[in-house]
Amino acid sequence: MKNNSINTLVRKNILKLQPYISFRDQHEFHAPVMLDANESPFGEFNRYPDSTQKKLKNKLAGLKDVSPSQIAIGNGSDELIDLIIKIFCEPKKDSILMMNPSFAMYGFYAAINENNVLKLNLDENFEIVKEDFLTFVKEPVKIFFLCSPNNPTGNSIDDIEFYLQNFNGIVVVDEAYIEFSGKKSSLGLLEKYPNLIVLQTFSKAWGIAGARVGMAYASEEIISLINTVKAPYNVNILSQELILKTLDEETKLQQNVQNILIEREWLEDQLRDIECIAKIFPTDANFFLIKMKNVDQVYGKMLDHEILTSRRDPAIPGCIRINVGSRQENEKLVNLLKNITD
C-alpha cells in the first residue's frame, strides 16, 4: 500500500477536522506567566499536562528506534483501539476483522461505533488458517486486529508480513505481551508497510497497569490522524512523569521479565501432572490458557479461596486463563489445584 492511499481509508469527516492545539505545548518558554488556560494558580498539579507528550515520545523514540512523529500515546491501548476505529470506520457501514478468540475490546469498540465485527475463527491450535483469512479479505474490511501473542490463548502469530501483504486496509498488530515472547517486534516493518499500526503498553511487562499508558507506532500520516482525534490532555501528568522515570530504569524491565519467565517455567512444571487439568496450551505471554476436566468445580474452588482467574466460557469451553504471579501466589494456586479431585 502506498503512503498516499492511506487517506482513501479515512472517514471523510475526519480528514476535515482541525486538531486541538495547545499554544504553550507548541512553543518553548523559559519562565512563562500562564494565564491562557483558566487554571488555578495554586496547587501541586494545577497545570494541564503536555498535550503532545514530547518528552515521553522522544524517550520512546530512542528506545524503539523510530521517529517521535511515529508515536501516539494513549490512555491505555484501549483508547488507541477506540480512536483507530473512529478514524477509519464509517458507522453503520464499515467492518473490522478480528481473530476468534482474541481480545474482546476490538469488537466492543467497533460495536460502539456501529461497525460490523467479522470474526476469523482460529484452528484447534489457535492458529490463523490463511485460506480462511483470504476468504474474509475478499469483502471490504477496513481494519484487521491481529494480537500477537494472542490474548487469551497465549500463542504468537507467525508470518505477520503475509497479512500485511494480503490486506488492503489497516493492520493493527497488538503487541501487549511481546516482551515475554522472545519474538521480533513488528516495529521493524513500519517503513515497509504504511498500513501497519503496532500497539504496545506499559501495563504488562513494565508493571505499570495503574498508570494507563499505551503506545501506537505507525506512519507519520496515521499518527497525525490519531493526534487530531484524541482528547487534548488524554494522558495525565502523573502518568507521564511515572513513565519517564521508569524508562530511565530499563534494567528493571529486563529483570521483571526474566523473573516472570522463570516463574512461568516453574508454574508450568508444577501444573503439568495435576489431576484436574486436561491440557495446558503453549504460551508466549505471561499467562496460561488451561483446559480443566471440570471447569465449574475448579473455578468455584478458586473463587472460594479468593484466587481470581479469567474463565473463558463460552468462547473457549472448559478453559480458564491464569496469569503468572509471584512465587507465593503461584504456590497457593498449585496447592489448591493439587487438592481438587473428581
Q: The domain spanning residue 313 has which CATH number? A: 3.90.1150.10
What residues are paired with 8 via a beta bridge?
Answer: none
- Residue 28, pLDDT score: 85
DSSP class of 21: -
Q: Beta 214-217 vs 71-74: how paired, if at all?
A: antiparallel
201 and 91 both lie in a single domain: yes
Alpha helix stretches (DSSP H) within 36-113: 54-64, 76-88, 105-112
- Residue 3, pLDDT score: 47
185 and 292 both lie in a single domain: no
165 and 306 both lie in a single domain: no
Specify if 324 maps to a domain. yes
Cell of 334: 498449585
- Calpha distance 173→277 (Å, rounded): 31
Q: Which residues, other chains included, contact 224 with Cβ-Cβ below 8 Å and sequence gap of 6+?
A: 69
Report residues of the chain scoring pLDDT below 50.
2-3
Q: Which CATH number goes with the domain that contains 75?
A: 3.40.640.10
Cell of 266: 516453574
Place of cell 483558566: 38
Q: Between vectors from CA 73 to CA 72 and to CA 75, what angle results, nearest 5°?
A: 140
Cell of 39: 487554571
Specify if 36 maps to a domain. no
Domain boundary among 187, 218, 248: 248
- Residue 2, pLDDT score: 46
- Residue 25, pLDDT score: 82
Q: Of all helices (H) and strands (E), which one includes residue 13?
A: helix 12-15
Domain boundary among 206, 224, 248: 248
207 and 260 both lie in a single domain: no
Q: Inter-axis angle of helices 237-247 and 54-64, to 10 degrees?
A: 30
Number of neighbouring beta carbons within 10 Å of residue 310 = 14
* 171, 193 Cβ separation under 8 angstroms: yes
Specify if 55 maps to a domain. yes
Specify if 13 maps to a domain. yes
Domain boundary among 218, 248, 278: 248
- Residue 342, pLDDT score: 65
pLDDT digits 0-9 by tens, 272-316: 999 999 999 999 999 999 999 999 999 999 999 999 999 999 999
Q: Is the dihedral of CA 96, 148, 81, 56 positive or negative?
A: negative
65 and 213 both lie in a single domain: yes
103 and 207 both lie in a single domain: yes
Range of the domain at 200: 3-21+50-248
DSSP class of 208: -
* 78, 57 Cβ separation under 8 angstroms: no
299 and 169 both lie in a single domain: no
* 299, 318 Cβ separation under 8 angstroms: no
Q: How many domains does the chain have?
A: 2
What residues are paired with 323 via a beta bridge?
Answer: 287
153 and 189 both lie in a single domain: yes
Whole-number CA gyration radius for the chain: 22
pLDDT digits 0-9 by tens, 64-111: 999 999 999 999 999 999 999 999 999 999 999 999 999 999 999 999
DSSP annotation string for 261-288: HHHHHHHHHHHTT-TTEEEE---SSSEE
Count Cβ atoms within 10 A of the Cβ of residue 314 and give its class: 0-12 exposed, 13-18 middle, 19 or more buried: exposed
- Calpha distance 55→75 (Å, rounded): 16
303 and 190 both lie in a single domain: no
Q: How far is CA 94 from the centre of its chain?
A: 22
Specify if 40 maps to a domain. no
307 and 205 both lie in a single domain: no
- Residue 313, pLDDT score: 92
